[in-house]
């Protein structure tokens, strides 16, 4: 099995974002207004795009968004590999923190990467979220 993580164009993330995260919404729902400003990563298994995530760095703060893994491939560690790569990439960019809007039912997943829950919560499309962050000491 060949696994490779590489930067991809924002448009390459759209199919997985849509089918995994918001399949009942129009495709435009998963397109971010600032996608052009982000750095997008794909994890490929035997040359098939299997997991995606988008990273946005503003000054010394990084946010990752739209982490999605093909449904049939979930539970195999691909999102963990991709997120480990993205956190390391952000740290190399000398950010002071990295954060995300985590679905509350996925909170335990993000704790494994050193993120912790903040007091900020919200609901979008009937799904509850919590803001999670990791402070990075350079």
Q: How far apart are CA 136 and CA 94, in angstroms?
A: 8
**pLDDT (0 to 100) of residue 137:** 73
Given this model, what pLDDT does residue 91 score? 92
The residues, ordered by sequence, that sit 6+ positions from 130 with a Cβ below 8 Å of its Cβ are 101, 102, 104, 107, 117, 118, 120, 121
Beta-ladder partners of 122: 129
DSSP string covering 111-132 = HTTT-EEEEEEEEETTEEEEEE
Is 131 in contact with 121 (CB distance < 8 Å)?
A: yes
Q: What is the pLDDT of residues 11-54, one digit of tens each?
A: 999 999 999 998 998 998 889 999 999 999 999 999 999 999 99
**pLDDT digit string, tens, across residues 84-129:** 999 999 999 999 999 999 999 999 999 999 999 999 999 988 889 9
Cβ-contact 32, 54 below 8 angstroms: yes
């Amino acid at each position: 099995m060949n696994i490779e993580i590489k930067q991809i164009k924002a448009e390459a993330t759209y199919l997985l974002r849509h089918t995994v995260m918001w399949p009942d919404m129009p495709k435009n729902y998963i397109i971010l207004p600032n996608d052009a400003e982000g750095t997008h990563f794909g994890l490929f298994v035997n040359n098939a795009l299997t997991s995606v995530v988008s990273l946005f760095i503003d000054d010394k703060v990084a946010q990752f968004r739209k982490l999605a893994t093909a449904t049939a491939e979930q539970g195999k560690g691909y999102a963990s590999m991709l997120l480990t790569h993205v956190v390391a990439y952000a740290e190399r960019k000398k950010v002071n923190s990295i954060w995300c809007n985590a679905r509350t039912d996925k909170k335990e997943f993000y704790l494994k990467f050193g993120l912790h829950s903040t007091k900020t919560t919200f609901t979008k499309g009937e799904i509850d979220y919590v803001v999670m962050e990791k402070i990075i000491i350079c």
